[in-house]
Amino acid sequence: MAWWKQAIALLVLLAAAATSWARFDAGAASRLESLGLPKALVRVVAGERQDAAGGEKPAAKAGKGGGAPQDILVVASKVASGTINDRASAIGNGEARHSVVVAPLVSGFLAEVAVGSGDTVKAGDALARLDSRAETIARDRAALALKTTEDKLARIEALQKARTATAVQLGDARDERDAALFALRDAELKLDQRIIRAPIDGIVGIVSTSAGNAVTPQTEIATIDDRSSIVVEFWIPERFAGQVAPRQPILAKALAQPGDAFSGVIDAVASRVERDSRTLRVRAVVDNSADRLRPGMAFEVTLKFPGVAYPAVDPLAVQWSSDGAFVWRIADGKAERVAVRVIQRNSDYLLVEGAIAPGDSVVVEGVQSLRPGVAVRLAGAQPAGT
């Protein structure tokens, strides 16, 4: 091809490129005029024409009737509100409010076991008795000795009033009486220790021995659990440490009874975060007046907090550019580009931070044709002028 033909083809390509740029860039006309090009040429390049009277008006876009410009058709959705950090869930272990292992205070042979598994007892009730014949004899002997010393003291007091007994004799008689009294109390205590009593109110567990067995203070007779309430101990992430406090309500679900929920309150909170796990130890009390729960069960505990609210948008509304994420908000019938920061992704919505609020409309379909300030029409709405 001759060089002049190549030059003409290059000029045509440059002119076409300049015309396309000028018609898509709103500020192209002013920049071309600043380069010194004639206004008439600028109008031609920018796609403008003069009417018959010599006035200027923009070239009509193709539309219904051939004259009026069309709005861009889009689909929009409303911005909702979502909350994060508004609850914490943890798995914990349940224990009885009070629980004891009952063992005898002294060694001996079991003469009687007075309770069985599942019995309800009160504090002080007799659970079992050891053979106490020797202790009974010792108690009776101490009681007889006390009576003898009391009779002697009464005689010395009468003689002392008649001035036939000295004050020393009276003092000795009183000391003997006091010693006998202490001996009787000691004998009664040893006799009472032969009875194994319940230390708390509760439910008797499995009785581990029976009458006739020899027992020692290390022998387990039975367990007693006060399960009128269940204590659940669990750990929560450290970010909630400043929001949890005693008497705060909780909801607990036994893993063995997934369909039921039990209310309770926080009973105690640790004073420090566990360094290794970055969690805080918490103890809650769950009401068990219906006796449906048992110590040792596993629980899923849920705590509710005020949380932090953010705008929630449809995932299709969020677009990306080199500057980050943004959405097209519809304001006064026009598209407005708003920069946002994604806080949390969920399956149905995204929580974002930016200059949008619940109730705003954002474009979810038709974003390819949008630019700042362009007029838009929602799908299903009638175009202007119809």
Angle between helices 167-192 and 133-161 (to 10 degrees): 160
Residues 6+ apart with CB under 8 A from 348: none
**Pair of tokens at residue 200:** 């708390």
14 pLDDT above the threshold of 60: yes
Q: With a cut of 60, say whether residue 113 has pLDDT above it.
A: yes
With H, G, I as helix, E, B as strand and everything else as coil, classify residue 226: strand
| Proportion of the chain above pLDDT 90, given as a percent | 56
Q: Is the pTM of the predicted complex or chain greater than 0.75? A: no
Instruction: For residue 71, give the 3-state DSSP assignment.
Output: coil
Question: pLDDT grade, residue 377 (50/70/90)?
Answer: confident
CA-based torsion, 312, 314, 315, 320: positive or negative: negative
> Which residues have C-beta within 8 Å of that of residue 167, sequence separation ≥ 6?
160
Q: Taking a C-beta distance cutoff of 8 angstroms, is the pair 93, 233 a contact? A: yes
Cα separation, 201 vs 199, in Å, equals: 7
Q: What is the pLDDT at residue 305? A: 86
Tell me: the pLDDT tens digits for 70-101? 688 889 999 998 888 788 899 999 999 999 99
DSSP string, 280-311: EEEEEEEE-TT----TT-EEEEEEE---EEEE
Nearest to 70 by CA among 365, 384, 361, 364: 384
pLDDT at 352: 92
Task: Judge residue 126's burial from the number of C-beta atoms within 10 Å of its C-beta, 0-12 exposed, 13-18 middle, 19 or more buried.
Answer: middle
pLDDT per residue over 46-76, tens digit each? 554 333 333 343 333 434 444 445 688 889 9
Alpha-helical runs (H) found in 202-285: none
Q: State residue 69's pLDDT score.
A: 52
Dihedral of CA atoms 21, 23, 24, 25 in degrees, nearest 10, equals 80
* Residue ranges of domains in the chain: 3-58, 72-84+309-378, 88-96+223-307, 103-215
Asked whether the CA dihedral 122, 127, 129, 135 is positive or negative, the reply is negative
Residue 384 has pLDDT above 60, yes or no: no
Q: Are strands 80-84 and 222-237 parallel, antiparallel or unpaired?
A: unpaired
> What confidence score (pLDDT) does residue 20 get?
62
CATH 3.40.50.300 fits 88-96+223-307, yes or no: no
Match domain 72-84+309-378 to its CATH number in 2.40.420.20, 2.60.40.2470, 3.40.50.1000, 2.60.40.10.
2.40.420.20
- Cα–Cα dist 251/248, whole Å: 10
Yes or no: say if 233 and 281 are a contact pair by the CB < 8 Å rule. Answer: yes
Q: What is the pLDDT of residue 45?
A: 53
pLDDT at 177: 94
Whole-angstrom Cα distance, residue 340 to residue 63? Answer: 34
What is the band of 376 on the pLDDT scale with cuts at 50, 70, 90? confident
CA distances from 186 to 68, 87, 105, 217 (A): 113, 59, 15, 19
Q: What is the pLDDT of residues 319-357, one digit of tens each?
A: 998 889 999 999 988 989 999 999 988 878 899 999 999
- Give the whole-angstrom CA distance, residue 352 versus residue 332: 22
Residue range 27-53, pLDDT digits in tens: 555 666 555 556 655 565 555 433 333
Which strand (E) or helix (H) includes residue 271? strand 262-274
Number of CB atoms found within 10 A of residue 242's CB: 8
Angle formed at CA 232 by CA 229 and CA 233, multiple of 5 degrees: 150
What is the Cα–Cα distance from 114 to 207, expressed in whole angstroms? 10
Q: Angle at the Cα of 22 (from 16 to 25), degrees rounded to 5?
A: 135
Residue closest to 223 by CA, chosen among 352, 367, 116, 308 = 116
Question: Which structure tokens are listed for 385?
Answer: 């002028």
pLDDT in tens, 169-195: 889 999 999 999 999 999 999 999 999
What is residue 80's three-state secondary structure?
strand
| Per-residue model confidence (pLDDT) at position 347 | 78
